[in-house]
Amino acid sequence: MAVFGCGPIGLMAIGVGKACGVSRIVAVDINDYRLGIAKEMKADLIINSKHASPVEAIMDYTRGKGVDIVLEIAGAPIVYDQIFKAVRPGGRVSLLGLPATSLTVDFSNEIVMRGITIHGIAGRRLWQDWIVGRELLVSGLLDLAPIVTHRFDLEDYDKAMDLMTQGDCGKIVLYPGGVE
């Protein structure tokens, strides 16, 4: 599996993937801080796409096969040029990121002729996801602690927003009445 975008949702996806038995997970992002958290969440290969081609690294890592599953969580237009080349023929691409502009996709060569399944994710299956999530957490198979990187008093939300905008954080938790 490859996760393109290591914000809090992508980081959680890495942890859930490992907890559910995904054998090898590739994390792709442009932020070294978040890639460090991806490593803590047990990603097997870390790729900073500012410094290396994710497609080349993934194809090398999978001996030319490509990954079975791609989770696109970045929403960056360049990522859409990479994800369909990184997934194996007959693989699945789940789209969660929201690009700010319309994109051009080569449906014939990158999707149809390669038998790629695309799944758009706009939300969650509320009860089923809560039950599975609870069981993964209770069992100890999933530890989300590395993702929560900062805690602020609610009154300091401006500092939290600045940090979030810089991107050098995972999940930020705001506490009303003081940090616990």
Q: What is the pLDDT of residues 112-170, one digit of tens each?
A: 999 999 999 887 676 788 898 899 999 999 999 999 999 999 999 999 999 999 989 99
Residue 29: the pLDDT is 98
Residue 122: the pLDDT is 81
Domains of the chain: 2-139 (3.40.50.720), 148-175 (no CATH)
> pLDDT class for 180, splitting at 50, 70, 90?
low
CB 106 within 8 A of CB 131: no
pTM, two decimals, is: 0.91
Residue 171: the pLDDT is 94
CA dist., res. 151 & res. 160, Å (int): 8
- The length of the chain is 180
**How far apart are the two ends of the chain, measured CA to CA in Å?**
36
- 134: Cβ–Cβ under 8 A, 6 or more apart, which residues? none
pLDDT tens-digit series, residues 18-42: 999 999 999 999 999 999 999 999 9
